A and B are shown apart, each in its own frame.
Chain A
């Protein structure tokens, strides 16, 4: 199967062609062109997938080396692609969802002055992500990793005329750099320890590795993962990343970028099982992130911020699964999450567009009758993420929670916190749906409310040309359903979000297709709890989800309890973690950096300048010796000769 290289090459080709010809293709040609090539990439992925499926289970690996990239002594890195069940699964949903988001963007970005540039970046984003997942070694993965980081910067600050958008892009980039440091040092350490960074060679060379080294390596890579996948302590960039256009948010949150951390740890799964302590750390960090983000999501008024915190929270679930050793559960939740989160983001984009780019949910209400397709698909996505059976989110979340329950240390506690997060998830998603589609009244019809909230709204997802009329939502506004290019992806994703659960049903072993599919490439399999336990756990999860939905119904639909009692300021600010960072960096942090800068200016520069100054001074001091007077030279010369002669004569006579 020599087609693997085409998977990242097609979006890259779209990128390369759109650079010179994007303006000519313009609106909507550039968009359709990029959509077509990413769709082609999906077709190739599907072909490779079918090819792998037709092979026996232990032979499902295509390793294609294109050429040697860096030959340097013992160290040699290839440009090579590794298509195995893990990477092809990733490639399938990256290209599939990527193509749908491209198509959606054709409608969403219509009329934007930088239309073709948007698709240029978007294609590069998908290409980088595909390089990341299909690479056969860590360095090539890092290339994709950095490419994803650069594209996220470009796309988050796409409407950079607004200060806040540019800052959000910078924040995402800088925060990710901290994680990249972990990735790099981890790669170095792995190379030092076992002498290879090729994924296929790692398992067989792990024999001599000590637990301490393995723990250090896994934790360093996990630091990288916390950056890209927005976990504690580096999650702060993701809520701000909402400054980008909504399709970008969907791409970042569903198909690319945030899944790369999960993927990385899945790839390094053999190493993960050498480091049980690191696994514990990952599980707890994931759990803590899930809880913090879910709490924060409860109190956000910006529709995209709710979804952003929701993503962070769901990613926490995935890390919980990985940390508990349930790789398949992590992948399973990642796939279902990719479907319903892409759906929710694209749905929110459709809502935002219909509401004149207003993102504050307090101005929404009763939108269901105006946006029939968006609301139905969005509600399906809501059911999936809230964990209501038989929608996909229920099955995958349940598997993650079961894995947490059966993990060795404090499994019940982990499961309990996980259930709490599930309840919160159901609560904040119901809140979002009620505030947007239902609720007692159409809030934007109230001019006072519009005046009061419209100004305070923090993020403005509008293009710069609309700056002058930034908050142009009028009380007389009538929301309109989006064009078909936007609703078709919504319908497709809603279908997938509904049925994706069948990938891995727990009823019998033969229903666990994802597990059977992924098992050959994983070195360790995870034992699920016995069926009865599983059903009790699932029952509790359903009760939690339903409780969350009912609670939100009473607070936001019936308004029996004032919302202010739940939406505490601490929750609005996500427990002040971001604010604390800002304070620390602005206060003591700045002082430390100033100190380092001063050390550089005085000591380092001082040493360099000192050498130069000594030389200059010596030259200046000796300058008068060269008087330019020939006779002086002659005299000096003679005097020297006389002195030498005198010395020789003295030596001879004594």
Chain B
């Protein structure tokens, strides 16, 4: 069975990746993995932007992707710095241990 590769499938794929990322973010405890999950979610969104840009024949979708990439890069820089700082202080820390801000 040959299925025609319509643009809908891109959106379905994006939704799947986003769901995987979101689930991973909630269930995993390792900060590093959680970061990777956030990246997954961001890239899923990027995929939808590109798809819709193609569908609507609008270059804006692709432009937005660049913005997201830049922001993601910045966020990773900050996030990794945080992870390094945390692991220096305590060995084998998980995200759940870092609940100093509890009310």
Contacts and interface: CB of A to CB of B under 8 A. Distances in A.
B80 to A, nearest CB: 15
Interface string B70-96: 000000000000000000000000011
Interface of B: 22, 25-27, 29, 34, 95-96, 98-103
Contact of B103 (A624, A634, A635): A624
Bin chain A's interface residue count: 10 to 19
Nearest to B27: A631
A476 interface: no
A624 B100 CA distance: 13
A638 B26 contact: yes
Interface string A610-654: 000000000000111111111100110010000000000000000
Contacts of A624: 103
A641 to B, nearest CB: 9
Contact of A631 (B96, B101, B102): B96
For the complex of A and B, the 6 pairs showing the least CB-CB separation, nearest first, are: A628-B99, A628-B102, A626-B103, A623-B103, A628-B101, A635-B26
Nearest to B37: A634
A638 B27 CA distance: 13
A194 to B, nearest CB: 63
A629 B95 contact: yes
Nearest to A639: B26
Contacts of B96: 629, 631
Contacts of A629: 95-96, 99, 102
Interface of A: 622-631, 634-635, 638
B29 to A, nearest CB: 7
A634 B98 contact: no
10 contacts: A622-B103, A623-B103, A626-B101, A627-B103, A628-B101, A628-B102, A629-B102, A631-B25, A631-B96, A635-B26
A624 B103 CA distance: 6
Nearest to A642: B22
B29 A631 contact: yes
Contacts of B26: 631, 634-635, 638
A629 B25 CA distance: 12
B95 A628 contact: no
A631 B76 CA distance: 18
Contacts of A626: 101-103
Contact of A634 (B25, B99, B100): B25
A623 B101 CA distance: 11
Nearest to B96: A629
Contact of A625 (B29, B34, B99, B103): B103
